[in-house]
Amino acid sequence: MIVALVFVVSYEMFVDSKQSRDMFGFGFIFSSNWNPVTEEFGALPFIFGTIVSSLLALILSLPVSIGVAVFLSEIAPKSVRTPFSFLIEILAAIPSIIYGFWGIFVFAPFMRATVQPFLQSTLGFLPFFQGVIYGTGLLTASFILAIMITPIISAITRDVLKAIPVSQREAAYALGATRWEAIKMALLNAKSGILGGAVLGLGRAIGETMAVTMVIGNKAQIKASLFEPAYSMASVIANEFAEASGSLHISSLIEVGLILFGVTFIINSLARLLIYSVTRKA
Amino acid sequence: MTGIETISGTPRNLARRKFVDKLMISLCVIAGIITILPLLYIFFFTTKSGLSSLNLDFFTQLPKPVGEEGGGMANAIVGSLILIGLGSIIGIPVGILAGIYVSEYSGSLTATLVKFTTDVLSGIPSIIIGIFAYGIIVLPMQRFSALAGGFALGILMIPTITKITEEMLRLVPQTLREASLALGVSRWKTTLFVVVKTASSGIITGILLAIARAAGETAPLLFTSFGNSFWQSSIDQPMAALPLQIFAYAISPYEDWHRQAWAGAFVLILLVFVVNLIVRYVTRNKFESSV
Amino acid sequence: MLHETSSNPLSDQQENPEDVSSIDIQDSEEHEKESKIAVQTECLSVFFNERPALKDINLKIRKNRVTAIIGPSGCGKSTFLRSLNLMHEMTPKSKVLGSIKIHGNDITESNAVDVRKNVGMVFQKPNPFPSMSIFENVVAGLRLNGNNKKSELEEIVERNLTHAGLWDEVKDRLKSPAVSLSGGQQQRLCIARTIAVNPEIILMDEPTSALDPISTAKIEELIYNFKDEYSIIIVTHNMQQAARVSDFTAFLYLGKLIEFSKTRRMFTNPRERLTEEYVTGKFG
């Protein structure tokens, strides 16, 4: 039944996006022109926004996530571990709308006032950190996404670390390794599982809708600067779907959804296979 | 460097290794703190802004037009309850059945396939499920409706419930299944009245988690349930929902609406917190009393 | 510490596999003419994953007697027991060859549910249903098969708990959860649960190995008292227990039946050298 569901979902979206696919063909993916008034639709800005914000979020989140996982599984005493992992669970359970809300009212102003001017003054020679500072935009969205996917990646990293037998660590200690060296060895052994967790986090970031919609700035453009507002696939669907006028507009939005679905489907399958391959061995 | 030195480490090498060790361990601790900070901040801020705007009106009044003070989100709260109810009707039975199937018939190819698909489904963006509900229910009905919203929420609840049901059933010792079968009880009765019953508290926590998650879902409701500023109890009509209302108010330019949105956010966060606390409590009991 | 001659006992057996059982049957028939057959296996072999766990077991188990199955771990005694109520079906990729006749009817092709109503089973570890009370545990088998008359069930609970020697200890707290009982009490509760379904044969898979000596003694007493009503087959790794409670003993080794005779004879004057070495503790 659930298997069938996934097929029905993809079929439904495939059929509903027919009009747009017939109209624009593959050019849909490569055109950066999105104009509902003239009925011209190209998805490139959204694909760009999604990829950049998600990858950036992953880069920001991965080291922190691994650190948290190591902290939870290897370093923290039990009395700290239990409440701490509870808090991380909560972090994963907070609705994305609240992240977005907090993002516009608390985090974006903080970015505008502190982080972005700092980046501009120190790294301003790079094209990524130039231009007008809005507060909202790609970088802010990436930060929020990073916060949101950290619990996911760290939970999976912790699980795969747990699957590595204690004896391995003891063997490392017995050879005179320091604590970090022993941990490093465990991490290396678990790397495909951690990669799986990272890919899973990436998938989540790509599909995240509400929080991104609220902080990314919602402007269909491709700019080098991370301070500039951008748009993501999920956000454009969220913003325009309910009030889309023409059937071509709806169809195009569904095609964006189809791309999003395809990408997240592949990414999630990949992630699961990676994670299975590690945890099953244990 | 001679061989002996490489094994035991020269003094300087050792000092460097110890320094790296200390550094990395502290970095991990810092990572932990960095992760918790936003959570505490969100918690603190939502509570501060939410509590001050939270009053009886919030739970009993309809939204007021712009400019008028006061008003509440009563319709949105009721709407959320109805939507979750509809979602539960779809999500709970399907989720539990799938979980039973995956756990009790594991090893077969279909069970593996179902498990894999469920895992993948849990990673599909909720907005995609929204489009799906739109195509299947909104388009044929030519109208946004609570039914479509509930349907979307139901699908989103399935993976969570399936996953937890499966895990909880796996905790039920094999000897209990055998004991029941040895009494001449059929397989399905054994599964339902012995195995599932033994795991019921765990399964209920899964349902709670799924409900908490569905309660905060916004994206799939945008173009299914759509939202509504008035009382609406018939499920073939557009219906308000708490997260939708928060979204609408949050992106509005009005100070008063922002306050209301914070109050809504506070209610949602409280729900998530309480449910997770219950789940922690129940599952901890489960593991300690190794049934 | 096997002797040179017996270090490869199976090859000896394989040459004339019928010998053992045929002598046994004659031997049993000499002494027990009055008793009927409860279970008879013919050429019973059980395979897991195409690997044989039991090979060609021919055995006649008498009615209203206690039959003990002994042998070193991994010899197939549990497998044998579990095949008698088709519990091996729980293990994926298992296969049974040969026939198992219970009171003359071959059950290998029967519906497992019907077979198990007639052939009860008590397990190694007490396994009461944790979600049910003491009362509910006793009647679980009946209730799940549709009997729900309250007055009848109350009577059944009292009768079977009394029978299992547990009534006096629990009659004031029938509503409390079954897991609140001690291990020995739980095992007797499981026995009450088993006999409540009215089986004719009871299989016991090392029923006392998880219990203390006092609880063990109580269970053994039950087994002794049950003889009039049930045919009991008990797997045990404890030879003293086999000697104490059983009338007949079967010795299994590496999936084969080595010897089957009256318990007294088995422990005093075994026919096979391998049996002698096992019962005198030379191996196993």
At A147 the pLDDT is 93
Q: What is the pLDDT of residue A61?
A: 94
Show the DSSP H helices in C229-272 as ranges: 239-245, 263-268
Instruction: Name the pLDDT band for A281 (thresholds 50, 70, 90).
Output: low
- Give me chain A's average pLDDT, please: 85
What is the nearest CA distance from C207 to chain B, expressed in angstroms?
Answer: 13
Which residue of A101, A218, A250 to mutate against B (max B Cβ within 10 Å)? A101
Say how many domains are in chain B. 1
pLDDT tier for residue B57 given thresholds of 50, 70 and 90: confident
Q: Which of B183, B190, B197 sits opposite C193 (nearest CB)?
A: B183
Distance CA C208, CA C224 (A): 14
Chain B positions in Cβ-Cβ contact with residue A104 (cut-off 8 Å): 250-251
Tell me the ipTM for this assembly.
0.85
- Residue at B94: amino acid letter: V
Asked, for residue B219, whether it belongs to a domain, the answer is yes
Q: What is the pLDDT of residue C10?
A: 41
Cβ of B268 within 8 Å of Cβ of A5? The answer is no
pLDDT digits (tens, 9 = 90+) for C61-112: 998 999 999 988 888 888 999 999 888 887 778 888 889 988 888 888 888 8
Domain boundaries, chain C: 23-279
A86-109 burial: b if 16+ Cβ within 10 Å, else e: ebbbbbbbbbbbbbbbbbbbbbbe
- Residue B89 is part of which domain span? 77-241
pLDDT at C4: 40
Q: How do A40-41 and A34-35 pair as beta strands? A: antiparallel
Domain positions in chain A are 13-281
Task: Kindly state the percentage of chain A with pLDDT values over 90.
Answer: 18
Q: What mean pLDDT comes out for the span A154-168?
A: 84
Residues A220-252: tens digit of each pLDDT: 888 888 888 889 888 888 888 877 777 888 888
Please tell me the predicted confidence (pLDDT) of residue A164: 80
In a domain, B11, yes or no: no
Indicate the range of A90-104, A178-192, C13-27 predicted with least confidence: C13-27
- Mean pLDDT over B74-89 rounds to 91
d(CA A28, CA A43): 6
Return the CATH number of the domain spanning residue range C23-279: 3.40.50.300
Q: How far apart are CA A202 and CA A167, in angstroms?
A: 32
Banded pLDDT at C185 (limits 50, 70, 90): very high
Please report, for residues A210, B205, C70, the alpha-carbon distance to residue A43 in angstroms, rounded to integers and kept in the order given: 19, 41, 74
C5: confidence class by pLDDT, cuts 50, 70, 90:
very low
Quickly state the pLDDT bin for B284 (edges 50, 70, 90): low
Q: What is the pLDDT of residue C221?
A: 92
User: Which of C48, C85, C110, C113 best tests the B interface by mutation, with the highest count of B CBs <10 A?
Assistant: C113
Domain A13-281 architecture: Orthogonal Bundle (1.10)
Q: What pLDDT does C2 receive?
A: 39
pLDDT beyond 70 at C24: no
Q: Mind listing the pLDDT tens digit for each residue in B200-254?
A: 888 998 899 899 999 989 888 988 887 877 777 777 888 888 898 888 888 888 8
Q: Which of A10-24, B97-111, C163-177 has the lowest mean pLDDT?
A: A10-24
C43: phi then psi, degrees, rounded to nearest 5:
50, 40
Residue A275: predicted pLDDT:
82
Q: Name every chain B residue with its beta carbon within 8 A of the beta carbon of A207.
A: 123-128
| Selected residue of C111, C117, C129 to mutate for chain B interface (largest B Cβ count, 10 A) | C129
Residue B121 amino acid letter? L
CA distance C109 to C115: 10
Instruction: Give A-chain residues touching B122 at CB under 8 angstroms.
Output: 268
Task: Examine residue B89 and state whether it is found in any structural domain, yes or no.
Answer: yes
Chain B environment of C120 (Cβ under 8 Å): 182-183
Nearest CA in chain C to B176: C127
Q: Do chain C and A touch: 3 or more Cβ pairs under 8 angstroms?
A: no
Q: What does the mean pLDDT of chain B come to?
A: 84
Q: Which residue of B has its CA nearest to A208?
A: B125
CA distance A208 to A56: 14
Structural domain includes residue B253: no
Mean pLDDT, rounded, for B56-69: 76
CATH number of the domain where residue B177 is located? 1.10.3720.10
Task: State the count of interchain CB pairs (< 8 A) between B and C.
Answer: 80
